[in-house]
Amino acid sequence: MNGIANRMPKFIRRADPAVVTAFACIVLLLFLGSLYSRSFLSPEYLLQQLKVASFLGVIATGMMLVILLGQIDLSVPWSVAVGAMMACAAAAYGPVGVALAIPFGIFCGVAIGIVNGIGVAYLRIPSMIITLATNAVAQGLMVVYTGGFSPQDSATGAMRYLATGFAIPAVPNAVIIWALIGAAMVFVLTRTGFGRTVYGIGNRERAAYLSGIDTRRVVMIAFAVSGGLSAFGGVLLAGYASKAAQSMGDAYLLPSIAAVVLGGTSILGGRGSYLGTVAGVILITLLQSILSVMQMPEAGRQIIYGVVIVAMLLLYGRAPASR
Amino acid sequence: MKDWRYWLAEQRGTLLAFGIFIAMFVIYTTNHPAGFTANVVQTASNKGVLLAFVAMAQTLVVITAGIDLSVGMIFTLTNCLASWLVIGTGIETAFGVVAVLGTGLLCGAINGAIVIYGRLQPIVATIATGAVYFGIALLLRPFPGGSVNEDLADALTGRLFGVVPASLVVLLAVVLVVWVPFSRSVLGRAAYAAGSSETAAYMSGVPIRRGKFAAYALAGLLAAIGGLFLTFFTYTGDAAYASGNAYTLFSIAAVVLGGVSLFGGKGSAIGAIFGALAFRTIGDLLFVFDFDPLWQPLFQGVILLIAVSLGAFALFRVRNRLEWFL
């Protein structure tokens, strides 16, 4: 066994089995899809899928940072919606509002993230509880603000350009944005002290604290970044659909967690690579796309979704046995 | 320590929840235009009992230091199922009720099997199974509809002897039949022990796996009782994503208000019931004070945020800073 492993190229030996599995599943899905319809392997279709995936990719990037800490961010649905709604709302306030729309949307997401971060890091409230609570508060605020209807304000030109434009011919802007954010995340995680600290805290916060790291500040920053990225995802989505909607973020909670976890990041924290998250995001997007091409109703999609996630987790996401 | 003082210390969370509920309910009824009448109590208890069942379900899982984010979806699924099955003659209705409760038990058992024997994290596992349960609910009821045995529904949501709300009596019966035996059984103690310290419980030979499994399965059953009651109140089945999610969220709020520790091993379903009733009453206070209903989601969210932040006061008792990090 060892002999075979040693003879394989170095990059295969070093690869995380979960990441390899995820990429294998992507190839399998593409193969199955191409049996169903030839157009599955056309460059247009693949680029379109990458574009759709990039919204989830931006959101999943923030989720990954939080999961690496061993925490979770369940405030994604309304962070997305708040980012989209507030950016569109700012656009209604003249030229200054239009210019500030995107930063303002992201800022609101960061604010939600900071509340989460303070709750988790300083008040030591379990992250899934405090993020559920801030999600409820954000929803309440938006219901009061919009009166319970989808807001009438529409997205600014800049938002539409970011989500649907082409700065480089044939490559959608959304994909470029995801690539930039992904590259930044890889740099932060692998080349900076902050990134190493995130892994350290995920492994054992006590040990990280005793090593002289201000773990609470790191946790808070991670949650703020996650909130900001969720809101930015919302801004892009609003640009894509040219307006914000009440429950636009609901469809992103489970996929973002699933993408991160399917990509081999341990839900207990401390282990995982961004490459895996990229694979998870593409895998989830392809699965969604194939199900919708097959005209699977919403009910069937939910069931397949849940089953696939549980099955994949059972394959390689299990905690060690207690003995 | 004397017996009664020990009891008092153990039940502090429950008593606090009871106190909050009584205070809120007094404010509610004194400001209600109709005052403290049997009708007002019946309506309030019917609304409160729904959440109380789901909160009891959540308690069982939280006691084992887990969390069940699919309770709201089991609640929705059983509601949809009941709108198909709980209808017809007495025998058919009885069969339907058993089938609905069995489905809930099965859903809970699946959660338990995945979390305990599959060794997955409860958060992710129950979010995923919740999606499956919601999908099945949507298959059963793509559009709101269906019907229910109205005689049974009216009997269980009406009043006994013209005064006592029947739903409260059912709640009491469920507490006596499900919660009391469970919490006193070996399995119940094992569930508490597993939540308190899984390693220590394991080393002491406590059947933690069976205890946790029983807790998850019974949680599904209790959520199904809640779903059944929802059908009795509305006469229809409705696969509403938002409402299922809201019940999951509110069940956590109720559990926290009811003095159940989210870290496991502490608290009781009785406390969670009062937490649920208190949470519902606080939410309805807005109506008696004539606020715009639009403010209700925000108001409930803020209550939830405050309730979960109260736990932070325990930090003041921490002497060694390392205890911040569990």
With CA atoms as reference, the chain B residue closest to A71 would be B123
CA–CA distance, A64 with A71 (Å, rounded to integer): 10
The tokens 């921490």 sit on which residue? B318
Q: Which residues of chain B have pLDDT under 50?
A: none
Q: Which two tokens stand for residue A312?
A: 């994949």
Q: Quick one: three-class SS letters along chain B? A: CCHHHHHHHHCHHHHHHHHHHHHHHHHHHHHCCCCCCHHHHHHHHHHHHHHHHHHHHHHHHHHCCCCCCCHHHHHHHHHHHHHHHCCCCHHHHHHHHHHHHHHHHHHHHHHHHHHHHCCCCHHHHHHHHHHHHHHHHHHHCCCCECCCCHHHHHHHHCEECCCEEHHHHHHHHHHHHHHHHHHHCHHHHHHHHHHHCHHHHHHCCCCHHHHHHHHHHHHHHHHHHHHHHHHHHHCCECCCHHHHHHHHHHHHHHHHHCCCCCCCCCCCHHHHHHHHHHHHHHHHHHHHCCCCHHHHHHHHHHHHHHHHHHHHHHHHHCCCHHHHCC
Domains of chain B with CATH codes: 3-324 (1.10.3470)
CA–CA distance, B264 with B256 (Å, rounded to integer): 11
Please name the member of B123, B263, B298 whose beta carbon is closest to the beta carbon of A72. Answer: B123
Q: How confident is the model at residue A13 (pLDDT cuts 50, 70, 90)?
A: low
How high is the pLDDT of residue A179?
94
Phi and psi based region of residue B151 (left: phi greater than 0; alpha: psi -120 to 50; beta: remaining): alpha
Determine the distance in angstroms separating the CA of B228 from the nearest CA of chain A, rounded to an integer. Answer: 21
Q: What ipTM describes this predicted complex?
A: 0.81
How high is the pLDDT of residue A11?
62
CA–CA distance, A195 with A197 (Å, rounded to integer): 5
How high is the pLDDT of residue A251?
83
How high is the pLDDT of residue A3?
53
Of A182 and A249, which is predicted with more confidence?
A182
Fold of the A18-33+42-316 domain: ABC transporter involved in vitamin B12 uptake, BtuC (1.10.3470)
CA–CA distance, B236 with A90 (Å, rounded to integer): 42
How many other C-beta atoms lie within 10 A of the C-beta of residue A207? 13
Cβ atoms of residues B73 and B137 within 8 Å: yes
Judge whether residue A229 has pLDDT over 90: yes
How high is the pLDDT of residue A1?
43
Nearest to B36 by CA among B47, B27, B23: B27
- How far the first Cα of chain B sits from its last, in Å, is 29
CA–CA distance, A234 with A6 (Å, rounded to integer): 46
**A145 interface with B at CB cutoff 8 Å:** no
Could you give the C-alpha distances from B323 to A70, A209, B258, B259, B318, in angstroms and in order? 17, 11, 24, 21, 7
Which chain A residues contact residue B211 at CB under 8 A? none
Please name the member of A250, A301, A306 whose beta carbon is closest to the beta carbon of B128. Answer: A306
Q: How confident is the model at residue A7 (pLDDT cuts 50, 70, 90)?
A: low
- Label residue A212 exposed, middle or buried (CB < 10 Å: 0-12, 13-18, 19+): exposed
**What's the mean pLDDT in A192-219?**
91
Give the pLDDT confidence of A70-104 residue by residue, as tens digits: 999 999 999 999 999 999 888 888 788 888 889 99
Could you give the C-alpha distances from A311 to A48, A109, A287, B125, in angstroms and in order? 28, 32, 14, 10
Give the pLDDT confidence of B227-251 residue by residue, as tens digits: 999 998 888 888 888 888 889 988 9
**What's the mean pLDDT in A225-250?**
90
Cβ atoms of residues B166 and B160 within 8 Å: yes
How high is the pLDDT of residue A14?
67
CA–CA distance, A174 with A176 (Å, rounded to integer): 5
Q: How confident is the model at residue A126 (pLDDT cuts 50, 70, 90)?
A: confident
8 Å CB contact of A322 and B262: no
When scoring A73, A116, A122, A137 by the number of chain B Cβ atoms within 10 A, the one with the most, hence best to mutate, is A137
8 Å CB contact of A119 and B263: no
Instruction: Please state the domain extents for chain A.
Output: 18-33+42-316
Please name the member of B120, B139, B302 whose beta carbon is closest to the beta carbon of A317. Answer: B120
